[in-house]
Structure 1
Amino acid sequence: MSNQERKTVLDLPLKIVLSEEGTTVFIKQNKKLTKFKLADNVEEYGLLLDKFVPSAIQRLLLIDYISKIEISRAEFVSRRQEVMDLSKLILYSLLYRQFSNLLFTKILASEVIKKWNRMNPASIIDEKTKFNETFLQNYLKEQEKQVYELKEEILAPIRSAITKNSNLLPEEKNVQLFLSEKLLNNLRSIIWFILLKFRGVENFENLIKEIRIIMAEYIEKSRIAEYVALMVIELAVNAENTNLRREAASLYRGTVDANAVLFDQNIRMRVIEELTKKNDLVYVSWKIGGTSSSIGTQGKLQITLYNKEDEYQVVKDSIDSKKSADLKKKSLFDFYKEIPEGSADTELGLYYLSYLSEACEKVGVKFESLVSQIKSSDTTIITLSFYL
């Protein structure tokens, strides 16, 4: 089971920008929104959280109430796992939402619904059909046993295929089994209502087979979540270490080795304190394409890292070179073995870009990375875009 699913609270301050729909709902419910400035100096209204409950954030993501999440810190090493968990939480939630939306579209286009619409022109079911959510929830609660049975019917062949897949490690099998259930558990109520109502009719089995095919595709897509999380934390830690060295050089005026800040805890804490005082932070944001977004951005996840960086061209060249690194010569395990023990700082982490690019290509996810600069503020911007 994924860490973000196990932990009830993550100790990581967040800035959450609500979508237009989310803002409307929060205002109608008299929820107080906070005004804040993001890394790109744009002012937004949203939620400021010192800690957060992953399941609550996931619910908001699933119903398209969040458009952006941002974190900012002087150091990331102490919150490495939390940052990775947040990254996976966001990506999994977006995949669940995409799966649900795609499935609804497929169901509406199925022979099952086409036949119903031909036979019942006064009660057609399409994307414009309005269903009362309270009614749907009550109905599904009454049909809880039937919902469970249908889930098991859908999952049985998928579980069997995962269990028998000799190419998967035991942990990978557990993750895929878990995700297969999560994909179904996060389906919109209307989907279960339709499936239960039409269960057993002509062509229903074909529809179930198509659902399984789409599920298999999304289970495969989910494999990039770990790579994305690793890439995010490696980029953040690299930026953090650049800042630590720069501040240490300024603070100690050459009396200590700048690299000592990475290993000497006392020096490190003092430098982090100075960076925090100066608000010299590293920012990471996740911009989520909404269901009502323009064409081409509905399944888009854009992750952006902002950092004041003197050597922009060095960073750009380094990242560009890693994107096309020859991975046939070394495995990811080999790269890890080369990392000095106890060292959080390594350019080897940038090789995740190559692994990430390869992993995305295998599962049909378009991936782009870009390094740019705001010259007026010496801010280097690293952008990772995923089209799910």
Structure 2
Amino acid sequence: MLKQIKLSLERKKSNYDICIGSGLIQSHSFSFLESFTGSQIAVISNHEISKLYYEKVKLAIEKIKPCIEVQLISLTAGESTKSIDTFSEILDTLVRNKFKRNDLLLALGGGVVGDLTGFTAACYQRGVDFVQVPTTLLAMVDSSVGGKTAINHSKGKNLIGAFHQPAEVIIDTDCLKSLPDSEFSAGMAEVIKIAAIYDESFFEWLELNYRKICNKDASSLEYMIFRSCSLKAKVVEKDELEQGIRAILNFGHTFGHAIENLSGYGEVLHGEAVAVGMVLAAGFSNSEAKLEPSISSRLVKLLKHFNLPTKLPANLNQEQILDAMLLDKKNKDKGIRLVLIEKLGTAIIKEFSKNAIRDYLLNYKTKGEN
């Protein structure tokens, strides 16, 4: 059954729909085409995903508007693709094909494809429209919603980016059938994150229904994705450009991005790094935000239900982590900003000195929380 969320922003022209349901690609549910006036759509995907879904997407577009020229820009899969070099190659292709400002980009894939496509759309001719068709759980519940776009720099993740909202987000839950278990688990980290920081009742629902989710129960998955997107939409509506409350969505990400960067992009999945980051942030919350230790334990237990890591990699030392954290784009002045939780559903943002975080990491046991 189709579920729809309308994300309404202060900049009215940025409003868009998030459509969630089974078989949306097959049923040609592409309402963005009703107002599309261009002649070309470039579908950006990776080699694996394009083999599964590109022809279906192309057929869906051509069924509605046969005159549109649909082209595929296929990329190598992996975080290393989210680079300046790949961005430049896509721009070269668009220019060569005389892509115009009223044409459209369509991101078909996971978070890497979505971030890269969105950033390209934000930059090309000072902004063209793009549509998100996420195929991974992480992209469905997090990166496709909210308009954050970025590419990586060798010194840090997402250091080069822009806010550019999609024209529409189309979430076909059937795409999860082809998703590897490790990628599904990585997506669950972002689901758990939004529940931990913003909705205690949703966190409790996840605790009660984790077996159904692991078994890919269709109605449970659809509800979970709808709830996650609805919560994120509420936060984004309050603070589109991350000047205030939206920063709470970075719970676990300051530690997580450092782990990703130091491990080498692609060696650790984003959701896996965020899972460990949330455990570290929750541990820090015990002393700095008076979070009850039992909440940290529940968080770790829930992450483990979905086979997510909860321990800091043994090969990383505190100085490496600190240096990477200092590059985090949320930081101000000389401190490090962290998102902590006071209780389930309530997050705060605090700034800490490098020494305070060093002391915490020194005392943190690499076995993680139990």
**TM bracket, shorter-chain basis:** under 0.3
Task: Report which structure shows greater RCO (CA 8 Å, sep ≥6).
Answer: 1
TM normalised by structure 1 equals: 0.24
Greater Cα radius of gyration, structure 1 or 2: 1
Higher-strand-fraction structure: 2
